[in-house]
Amino acid sequence: MSEEIVEFAVDQRVVYPSQGVGQIKDIFEKKVGDKTIKYYKIYLEVSDMVVMIPVANAAMIGIRPIVCAADAEKALEILGEAIEPVTSDWKLRYQMNLDLLKKGSIFDIVSIVRCLYHRSKVKELPILERKLYDNAKKLLEDEIAFALGKPSKEIEAMLHAKLEPLGALVAKKSPIIDDEEDDDDEFGDEINDSEDSDNEDSDDDDDSDESDSGDDMEDDGDDDE
């Protein structure tokens, strides 16, 4: 029998870093070679995906429970706090925020949203950063909505109410000297290549997770359940 410690329960909401809020749909065992491996079956509503994660790998991947209501409220308060100026080098800024996204705590996500929202008030974000911002904001909305038991639309309005006053202050300040070059296209492939490399490294890990829209996929690459 499999001896992995099961941290989550069926129907529990969890956060999958970079992917969003999911729900444990099943916990099952499967024979792989001479081993019996226990899996979580997680449904990610935001992307309509089902992923199979070995129980033993969940902590390494960063899967965690939804935060409590108190931490959700704290995240909202932090979102409205003043922020120090960030680097004008978008490539460095993008990588820093991408690393935070992979770490996946709610406060990491708050940092990304604050940083990129305020930066957008200084200068329009490059395409890659805009996508990163939209992703982080959606992750934050969904987790706070589940933690507080409120509709996502209501949480979206709350986030906007926290961000907009400080954003307006940034916009009213004197123009900032910005040496950043509009090199989104030039370096987009470079960063995408880096992300692809990260994904390949993840695929090389034992029983790392795989997913496909609308399908049940397993980490060991075996399509059979």
Does the structure show a pLDDT above 50 at 16? yes
136: phi then psi, degrees, rounded to nearest 5: -65, -40
More confident residue, 126 or 218: 126
Contacting residues for 35 by C-beta, under 8 A, at least 6 apart: none
Q: What is the pLDDT of residue 85?
A: 78
Would you call 151 helix, strand, or coil by DSSP? coil
Contacting residues for 116 by C-beta, under 8 A, at least 6 apart: 97, 125, 129, 132, 133, 136
Q: What is the pLDDT of residue 3?
A: 58
The model's pLDDT over 166-177, given as tens digits with 9 standing for 90+, comes to 555 554 543 443
Pull the structure tokens for residue 89.
């080098």
The model's pLDDT over 30-72, given as tens digits with 9 standing for 90+, comes to 988 889 999 999 999 889 999 999 999 999 999 999 999 999 9
Grade residue 188 by pLDDT with cuts at 50, 70 and 90. Answer: low
Share of the chain above pLDDT 70, in %: 72
Contacting residues for 33 by C-beta, under 8 A, at least 6 apart: none
Rounded Cα–Cα distance for residues 208 and 220 (Å): 7
Task: Give the predicted TM-score (pTM) of the model.
Answer: 0.72
Average pLDDT in the chain: 80
Q: What is the pLDDT of residue 169?
A: 52
Rounded Cα–Cα distance for residues 119 and 93 (Å): 10
The model's pLDDT over 136-149, given as tens digits with 9 standing for 90+, comes to 999 999 999 999 99
